[in-house]
Amino acid sequence: MKKGDILLICAVLILAAAGLIFMNLGGKKSGGTLTVTVGGEVYETYDLAKDQEVSLDIDGWHNRFQIKDGVVSMLEADCPDQYCV
Protein backbone atom coordinates (compact mmCIF):
# COMPACT_ATOMS: atom_id res chain seq x y z
CA MET A 1 0.00 0.00 0.00
CA LYS A 2 1.14 3.48 -0.80
CA LYS A 3 1.13 6.41 1.59
CA GLY A 4 -1.75 8.01 -0.35
CA ASP A 5 -3.88 4.87 0.03
CA ILE A 6 -3.41 4.91 3.79
CA LEU A 7 -4.33 8.60 3.99
CA LEU A 8 -7.46 7.98 1.89
CA ILE A 9 -8.56 5.09 4.14
CA CYS A 10 -7.99 7.22 7.26
CA ALA A 11 -10.00 10.09 5.78
CA VAL A 12 -12.91 7.79 4.94
CA LEU A 13 -12.86 6.30 8.45
CA ILE A 14 -12.84 9.76 10.05
CA LEU A 15 -15.78 10.88 7.90
CA ALA A 16 -17.72 7.71 8.74
CA ALA A 17 -17.10 8.19 12.48
CA ALA A 18 -18.16 11.85 12.27
CA GLY A 19 -21.36 10.81 10.48
CA LEU A 20 -22.20 8.23 13.15
CA ILE A 21 -21.59 10.73 15.93
CA PHE A 22 -23.81 13.30 14.19
CA MET A 23 -26.63 10.77 13.69
CA ASN A 24 -26.55 9.60 17.32
CA LEU A 25 -26.22 13.01 18.97
CA GLY A 26 -27.79 15.48 16.59
CA GLY A 27 -30.34 13.32 14.85
CA LYS A 28 -32.70 12.72 17.77
CA LYS A 29 -35.79 14.90 17.91
CA SER A 30 -38.14 15.28 20.81
CA GLY A 31 -41.75 16.33 20.94
CA GLY A 32 -43.23 13.42 19.01
CA THR A 33 -46.72 12.15 19.66
CA LEU A 34 -48.69 8.94 19.20
CA THR A 35 -52.23 9.34 17.90
CA VAL A 36 -54.68 6.50 18.46
CA THR A 37 -57.56 6.41 15.98
CA VAL A 38 -60.72 4.33 16.12
CA GLY A 39 -62.81 4.04 12.98
CA GLY A 40 -60.83 6.84 11.37
CA GLU A 41 -61.57 9.25 14.25
CA VAL A 42 -58.92 10.49 16.69
CA TYR A 43 -59.47 8.76 20.04
CA GLU A 44 -56.46 9.96 22.07
CA THR A 45 -53.01 11.50 21.63
CA TYR A 46 -50.01 10.57 23.79
CA ASP A 47 -46.70 12.38 24.32
CA LEU A 48 -43.72 10.19 23.37
CA ALA A 49 -41.48 12.08 25.81
CA LYS A 50 -43.49 10.73 28.76
CA ASP A 51 -42.85 7.10 29.73
CA GLN A 52 -46.18 5.38 30.36
CA GLU A 53 -48.18 2.19 29.97
CA VAL A 54 -51.67 2.53 28.51
CA SER A 55 -54.53 0.04 28.50
CA LEU A 56 -57.42 0.69 26.11
CA ASP A 57 -60.77 -1.10 26.09
CA ILE A 58 -62.77 0.18 23.13
CA ASP A 59 -65.80 -1.39 21.47
CA GLY A 60 -65.09 -4.79 23.04
CA TRP A 61 -61.40 -4.80 22.01
CA HIS A 62 -58.48 -4.70 24.45
CA ASN A 63 -55.06 -3.23 23.67
CA ARG A 64 -52.15 -2.44 25.96
CA PHE A 65 -49.05 -0.56 24.86
CA GLN A 66 -46.01 1.01 26.44
CA ILE A 67 -44.24 4.27 25.66
CA LYS A 68 -40.65 4.21 26.90
CA ASP A 69 -37.70 6.36 25.79
CA GLY A 70 -39.76 7.71 22.88
CA VAL A 71 -40.53 4.22 21.50
CA VAL A 72 -43.98 2.60 21.41
CA SER A 73 -44.33 -1.15 21.97
CA MET A 74 -47.59 -3.10 21.75
CA LEU A 75 -47.65 -5.36 24.82
CA GLU A 76 -50.90 -7.20 24.24
CA ALA A 77 -53.96 -7.13 22.03
CA ASP A 78 -56.87 -9.41 21.31
CA CYS A 79 -56.78 -9.05 17.53
CA PRO A 80 -56.91 -12.23 15.40
CA ASP A 81 -53.55 -13.96 14.84
CA GLN A 82 -51.84 -11.21 16.89
CA TYR A 83 -51.04 -9.32 13.67
CA CYS A 84 -51.46 -5.98 15.42
CA VAL A 85 -48.87 -6.83 18.08
Among residues 72, 55, 51, which one has the least CA distance to residue 63?
55
Residues 43 and 11 in one domain: no
* CB 36 within 8 Å of CB 56: yes
Q: Give the chain's domain count.
A: 2
Own/partner pairs, 64-68, CB within 8 angstroms, 24+ separation: 67/34
Q: What is the pLDDT of residue 25?
A: 72
Residues 13 and 41 in one domain: no
Question: What DSSP character marks residue 79?
Answer: S
Residues 12 and 38 in one domain: no
By residue range, what is the domain housing residue 67?
A: 31-85
pLDDT digits (tens, 9 = 90+) for 25-68: 765 555 689 998 888 889 999 999 899 999 998 888 888 999 99
For residues 72 and 59, give the distance between their C-alpha atoms in angstroms, rounded to a whole number: 22
Residues 25 and 35 in one domain: no
Residues 58 and 77 in one domain: yes
Whole-prediction pTM: 0.59
Average pLDDT of span 12-30: 75
Residues 39 and 77 in one domain: yes
